[in-house]
């Protein structure tokens, strides 16, 4: 039985709390949140206790901490948890600063604790099956990875201010998917982007519409198209073209009802919200962590995956700023 | 908070136990099952107690019983629970004998308790949306209801022996869907059927492949096609043709992965098992019951729905036996 | 080179004229139509001559006649052409009277000429591929054939008056498909039907909405659902369920454009009109006739197919009239 | 009636010959091809005469010439036809050299004749409908155009040698589509590409797998992914994401047959060959030319479209060679 301390009782913390509580091998022991009413409510719902970070980390019965607090607390909490010898799950990103991430991961490495970074899409059943089919050679050699990733609507300006910008906040998931599917580190990054969706985003100096191309030394390539707004729902598609075929993950409709009439043949929109679209992914992500902890096998995605995705995000931003292709060290 | 006693700790009882336990307004208090180890395991999993039927029904703190035990116990348990003044959820069917169902419902009526019969498909999000679209007149007047309902594989002969036969065991769900979508009671039933799937089924005098046609006085019609085996998974489709269009619920694939290669464009099979396909339906079914109990509004589907579906099943069997069309009283 | 005389310069005659003219092994020699301007226009368009029936049938250079004139002329023209020793293509039906068809086919048999009856759907590429897949055993043994056949809109009352009614005019195509896919003659026919679409149809004593069930001695079954009106286009689907899988022909959309927006994911309607949906089928039908004539192999569908489909239509009508199941001689 | 002279009796010439001959307002008068047997066969098939280029161009009864000969003859023939005052249809490209195209178009301009360049995809019914929907504002402002364009298999090395390379030979169609859908000239071009498909292509210094990104001054963007080989057929998809929705043209399957079995739900592959996929586009392309000639309205796509697409191809090649983004003059 793993006793778990959860940091952060917000939207994403609530998702993980439910998955922790429902897992047969876990017990949600502590909920930590500076905003006490949220911590209290979540703790009560799942029979846990409210605690401070110190209490949670100093309790030797806690084997695992789940970090779902604000981004700017992640690196510090990871380090503190690592020094306390806890296994760690941390929502992406580790930090918005590459240097800070590197420092944090060094600490993790020193202490030898397990760290999983929350790239939840790897655990979506359709995307996991895509990756397994690729790995099994079902379409031969991978040639082109195409990722369409579009949010249903732009987040509030308040959120965007501290988000790190489109590439570090949103595209970072797609960079992780690209690396995971290419199975090779990109050597060039080229980004085009515009502010077409929301003047508030432009005012912040951020972008909302982007195309990013990645190339690998072997000739494999990936392209990501992003938008902060898709009127028809949460658009999450991946397509991999290989020497012997193509694998594609399409959107999941809100229901399977289809209406045919004078207006056409109308199917349902894709699920609107990431919490709905990836509910199963979050559950399987946590279950995967526990499985690996139990068997002592390596956990993925780990800190290095978080670091590499951030490197690609930074390179994309550099490309956008300079208008030039950015070359990465192999 | 509703305290619930669950009767039956088998496969379907486990589904309901989890839904009861997860419902914010319910507490799973008792698990009753003659097979003690099953009762014990389920009770432990959800922090409930094992009890006898008498203990559960005599405990005045229990407001609701969920009957998921063997079919031949349903009617007796419903009557006992009704006399004890409990609200009742009962898995279909109330009984395989029309006469016994009528007697049982008379008792329910006398006692005035609430009874929901477990026609779970009404709560499937796609099918519920279909019904709401129909009710909202989205395709005008209903003309033809087409139900394709095929199990992935035949159940074991042991189960079939006491199942009541295809029409009472499997088609009964489709009869309920037909009534619910037609919004009018059928006046004729005609059934054709064969034993093509499994010689064991034929040996039992049962059938495994069927087409049943229902007509209503207004001219609306429904047709059901059944098979005990669909190699490609659990085939559960409904189509309604109306004066202004068509509504269709298609199958739900196991994932959204699609592979294109020399062999064609291959999508995933429909979900294989009813527990997977209707997991959400079971959850919403129970939630609907609680919502209605809380608000004191009428619960559907009720005992009358169970009775009418069984009448159609019996009529289908009479049609098959005689080779003639069976006319029902309006 | 086959010299062809075409009878009937109406809508369907024009389709066949174009296919005859475009066939590398055929020459459209004569167009025969009582309405001279139509004959004249069509003949000119394809470099043919206008002729009377006598001229066309007495011209020994004519090897093939294509009968696309009014239904009530078919049987007489077939007999005349047969006696003149011509190979014959005749649009369905041979006649609306079973007795007249039998007499006509006797003449054909005596003369030994080739007769193809225009059940064009057998030549639709999707449906032909379905039948070939079945014949190749791709889904094992056939169990249930489901045919959805709905016209985009009801024909004018004028046409309906002499049409022979829904079963002989429209369902007859579906009866042919059912026979072709079942590969066994049905032994029972049960029809339910209503007049829901158009009061004019009801006034004529005809029906516009129907479900017909066919069963075979082996236990195979087929069900046909018909409507004279489908607001979303020409609905032409077939599904065959077998012991090892299911084959389905879906509708063909007017284009492959799909629009996703707040209103849903909207695909195009099925092709609206039979001339568009079956354009390729008409072309391939005629090509098949020529191929068989050249090789001296048996032409299908032949007169017997026309006769059997009409028998099923008559049985359906008898079932509807009596409200009972009709049993056919094996 | 337009009398037409056709140059080139090869594969694509045969397509146009059939469309010319079938057009009610056209007569195929001459077929010109240095390879006499091909010219002879084609002329015979459609009742035309074989002629030399001089004969055809000097015949004042010829109003229109269709140039379907080898690429390196296009510019000369266009100029000769223009000087002879003929309206001109020319298969793409006008020439592989930008300078030569400019010179050729100057001549066309001087003479004032009509020139249509054969970007056939604009006339594909699905793609034309996509463009019309965009133009009608159905998805608001265009933001991202995504073009997937993959040939079923690589052409022979012999062909590739004189093809001008992937961008000028194959991507040029996609550049035209991008321009047509963006409705704005791109200002930057960035191309990544690899030789992954066929060593023979690499040996020629050519590429077979590419991603090209185009950006416009307004912020609109387009991305093209190409491969010389798609095992599953001819992959021709376009997707446009806009401020109010998404429009997508999907592939057209070879038939609408779908097979469900243990192996999954298998739909047909996309049509394999461009002549099948775009047969209707070729027909409508020619019909559009005639419509515009008759009405005296402007023909599109014209020479300028051919020129701009070639500019993009050259820019893509420059980008690939330099590894840098190429900026175009507005």
How close does chain D come to C268, measured CA to CA in Å?
10
Most B-contacting residue of C129, C144, C151, C266 (CB-CB within 10 A), to test interface: C144
Instruction: Identify the band that residue C23 occupies on the pLDDT scale cut at 50, 70 and 90.
Output: very high
Encode pLDDT of A292-302 as tens digits: 999 999 999 99
CA distance A234 to A239: 16
Give the residue among D258, D275, D150, D281 at the shortest CA–CA distance from D209. D150
For chain C, the chains sharing at least 3 beta-carbon pairs closer than 8 angstroms are A, B, D
Whether D252 and chain C come into contact, CB under 8 Å, resolves to yes
Inter-chain residue contact B256 with A249, CB threshold 8 Å: yes
Q: Are C195 and B143 in contact (CB under 8 A)?
A: no
pLDDT at D252 over 80: yes
**How many CB atoms are located within 10 Å of the residue B329 CB?**
6
User: Quick one: pLDDT at residue C330?
Assistant: 62
Residue with token string 């609701």:
B64
pLDDT mean over C180-202: 97
Chain-centre distance for alpha carbon C34: 24
pLDDT at C160 over 90: yes
Instruction: Identify the band that residue D330 occupies on the pLDDT scale cut at 50, 70 and 90.
Output: low
User: Quick one: pLDDT at residue B269?
Assistant: 97
CA distance to B313, C170, C272, per residue, from C92 (Å): 40, 10, 21
Please name the member of C143, C150, C324 whose beta carbon is closest to the beta carbon of B324: C324
Give the H or E element holding residue C42: helix C36-45
pLDDT mean over B287-297: 97
Instruction: Identify the band that residue A230 occupies on the pLDDT scale cut at 50, 70 and 90.
Output: very high
Inter-chain residue contact A248 with B257, CB threshold 8 Å: yes
Encode pLDDT of D75-102 as tens digits: 999 999 999 999 999 999 999 999 999 9
Instruction: Identify the band that residue B329 occupies on the pLDDT scale cut at 50, 70 and 90.
Output: confident
Most B-contacting residue of A41, A123, A256 (CB-CB within 10 A), to test interface: A256
pLDDT mean over B232-243: 98
pLDDT at C109 over 80: yes
User: Quick one: pLDDT at residue D154?
Assistant: 93
Per-residue tokens: D40: 């002879």
- How high is the ipTM of this complex? 0.95
Give the residue among A17, A75, A91 at the shortest CA–CA distance from A50. A17
Phi, psi of B17 (to 5 degrees): -55, -45
- In terms of Cβ atoms closer than 10 Å to its own Cβ (0-12, 13-18, 19+), residue D329 is exposed
User: Quick one: pLDDT at residue B330?
Assistant: 62
Encode pLDDT of A143-181 as tens digits: 999 999 999 999 998 999 999 999 999 999 999 999 999
User: Quick one: pLDDT at residue A154?
Assistant: 93
pLDDT mean over B168-192: 98
How close does chain D come to A263, measured CA to CA in Å?
14
User: Quick one: pLDDT at residue C244?
Assistant: 98
Instruction: Identify the band that residue D329 occupies on the pLDDT scale cut at 50, 70 and 90.
Output: confident
Please name the member of D133, D255, D262 whose beta carbon is closest to the beta carbon of C125: D255
User: Quick one: pLDDT at residue A89?
Assistant: 98
Residue with token string 């995971």:
A180
pLDDT at B107 over 70: yes
Nearest chain B residue to A124 by CA: give it. B255
Percent of the residues in chain D that have a pLDDT greater than 90, as a whole number: 96
Q: Are D213 and A190 in contact (CB under 8 A)?
A: yes
Encode pLDDT of D153-168 as tens digits: 999 989 999 999 999 9
Encode pLDDT of C217-270 as tens digits: 999 999 999 999 999 999 999 999 999 999 999 999 999 999 999 999 999 999
CA distance to A195, B84, C198, C214, D94, per residue, from C185 (Å): 67, 59, 33, 9, 62
Most A-contacting residue of C260, C263, C267 (CB-CB within 10 A), to test interface: C260
CA distance A246 to A237: 13
CA distance to B96, B167, B324, C327, D60, per residue, from B205 (Å): 17, 13, 19, 23, 86
Give the residue among C189, A187, C7 at the shortest CA–CA distance from B190. C189
With the C-alpha atoms ordered D167, D170, D171, D175, is the resulting torsion angle positive or negative?
positive
Encode pLDDT of A20-41 as tens digits: 998 989 999 999 999 999 999 9
Phi, psi of D119 (to 5 degrees): -85, 80
How close does chain C come to D199, measured CA to CA in Å?
35
How close does chain A come to C233, measured CA to CA in Å?
8
User: Quick one: pLDDT at residue A43?
Assistant: 95
Inter-chain residue contact A260 with B245, CB threshold 8 Å: yes
Number of C:D CB contacts under 8 A? Answer: 78
Instruction: Identify the band that residue C138 occupies on the pLDDT scale cut at 50, 70 and 90.
Output: very high
Encode pLDDT of D281-296 as tens digits: 999 999 999 999 999 9
Encode pLDDT of B244-263 as tens digits: 999 999 999 999 999 999 99
For chain A, the chains sharing at least 3 beta-carbon pairs closer than 8 angstroms are B, C, D
pLDDT mean over C192-201: 96
pLDDT at D118 over 70: yes
pLDDT mean over C273-279: 91
Per-residue tokens: A18: 């439910």
Nearest chain A residue to B266 by CA: give it. A247
Instruction: Identify the band that residue D5 occupies on the pLDDT scale cut at 50, 70 and 90.
Output: very high
How close does chain B come to D73, measured CA to CA in Å?
37
Residues 6 or more apart from B57 whose CB is under 8 A from it? B5, B65, B80, B81, B84, B86
Strands (E), B274-329: 326-327
User: Quick one: pLDDT at residue C273?
Assistant: 87
Most B-contacting residue of D233, D251, D260 (CB-CB within 10 A), to test interface: D260
Instruction: Identify the band that residue B6 occupies on the pLDDT scale cut at 50, 70 and 90.
Output: very high
User: Quick one: pLDDT at residue A273?
Assistant: 87
pLDDT at A330 over 80: no
């Amino acid at each position: 039985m793993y006793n778990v301390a959860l940091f952060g009782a917000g939207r994403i913390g609530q998702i993980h709390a439910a998955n922790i509580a429902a897992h047969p091998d876990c017990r949600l022991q502590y909920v930590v949140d500076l905003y006490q009413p949220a911590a209290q409510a979540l703790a009560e719902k799942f029979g846990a206790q409210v605690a401070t970070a110190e209490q949670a980390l100093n309790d030797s019965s806690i084997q695992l901490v789940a970090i779902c607090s604000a981004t700017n607390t992640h690196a510090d909490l990871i380090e503190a948890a690592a020094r306390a010898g806890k296994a760690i799950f941390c929502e992406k990103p580790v930090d918005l600063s590459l240097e800070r991430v590197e420092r944090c991961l060094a600490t993790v490495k020193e202490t030898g604790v397990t760290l999983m970074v929350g790239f939840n899409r790897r655990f979506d059943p359709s995307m996991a099956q895509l990756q397994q089919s690729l790995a099994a050679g079902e379409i031969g050699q991978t040639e082109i990875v195409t990722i369409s990733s579009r949010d249903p609507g732009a987040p509030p300006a308040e959120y965007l201010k501290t988000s790190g910008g489109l590439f570090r906040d949103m595209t970072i998931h797609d960079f992780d998917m690209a690396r995971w599917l290419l199975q090779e580190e990109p050597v060039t990054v080229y980004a085009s982007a515009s502010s077409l969706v929301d003047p508030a985003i432009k005012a912040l100096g951020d972008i909302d519409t982007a195309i990013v191309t990645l190339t690998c030394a072997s000739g494999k390539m990936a392209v990501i198209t992003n938008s902060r707004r898709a009127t028809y729902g949460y658009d999450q598609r991946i397509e991999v073209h290989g020497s012997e075929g193509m694998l594609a993950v399409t959107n999941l409709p809100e229901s399977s009802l289809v209406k045919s009439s004078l207006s056409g043949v109308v199917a349902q929109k894709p699920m609107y919200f990431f919490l709905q679209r990836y509910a199963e992914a979050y559950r399987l992500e946590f279950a995967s962590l526990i499985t690996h902890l139990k068997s002592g096998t390596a956990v993925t995605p780990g800190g290095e995956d978080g670091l590499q995705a951030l490197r690609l995000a930074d390179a994309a931003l550099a490309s956008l700023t300079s208008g030039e292709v950015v070359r990465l060290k192999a």
